[in-house]
Amino acid sequence: MWIYQKKLQYPVRVSQCNPRLAKYLIEQYGGADGELAAALRYLNQRYTIPDRIIGLLTDIGTEEFGHLEMIATMVYKLTKDATLEQLRDAGLGEHAADHGPALFYHNAAGVPFTATYIQAKGDPITDLYEDIAAEEKARATYQWLIDMSDDPDLNDALRFLREREVIHSQRFREAVEILKQEQQQKHFF
């Protein structure tokens, strides 16, 4: 089970009302390499990975939900109290026609989230390589987002999230090394 903590992992601050940035950030909310996809991918792979790796998948998957909440907070703050005209001018008119001011799990181009973004092959090395690739893809997405944003406060939190992908990738790489280790030989005399 999970227990909710009433706080963000890292402070999220936004300097200006800027719905255009929210439109881009939604990529990390409901996009292919976003935080929702990450959380669901790792937590689902847990059931068919050697015991030694289950804790890591559980803990990183859980942290990804915390990142999802940070992205949601950014989107919420960037669009809160924006007028329909402002949303329309920021390219969010189509979004508002369906969802009004609500958040939704789709990518920056409006494509709804799909389970086909994630994979589980039940082969431990294959799954961990998928996870390493997912972290690098998320890191790359954060780089594009930082490049496109000129909100220094927002970029501070985006840099934090990018660094977390570095750490997650590192840990998944270590998990691969753990699975490569030769088993303790049983000695029969």
Partner 1 sequence: MKPPVPQEYDQWLEQLQTVDFVLTELQLYLDTHPSDPQALQQFRAWTERRRLIAGQFEAQFGPLEATGGARSLHHWDWVESPWPWQV
Partner 2 sequence: MFTQQKRYYPYVSPYDPCAPIRQKFYQTPPELYLGFQPPGLPQYSAREALARGTLWPALYSPYGKSSREAQR
Q: What letters, b where the CB count within 10 A reaches 16 and e where it falls short, cover 168-183? A: bbebbeebeeeeeeee
Which residues in the 136-155 window bind partner 2 by CB under 8 A? 139, 142-143, 146-147, 155
Site residues for partner 1, window 158-187 (CB under 8 A)?
A: 167-168, 171, 174-175, 178
Q: Which residue in the set 25, 39, 72, 128 belongs to the binding site for partner 1 (CB under 8 A)? A: 72
Work out which of 161, 184, 186, 189 binds partner 2, going by CB under 8 A.
Answer: 161
Sign of torsion, CA 42 47 48 52? positive
Contact set with partner 2 (CB under 8 A): 10, 139, 142-143, 146-147, 155, 159-164, 166-167, 169-170, 173-174, 177
Contact set with partner 1 (CB under 8 A): 3-12, 55-56, 59-60, 63, 69, 72-73, 76-77, 167-168, 171, 174-175, 178
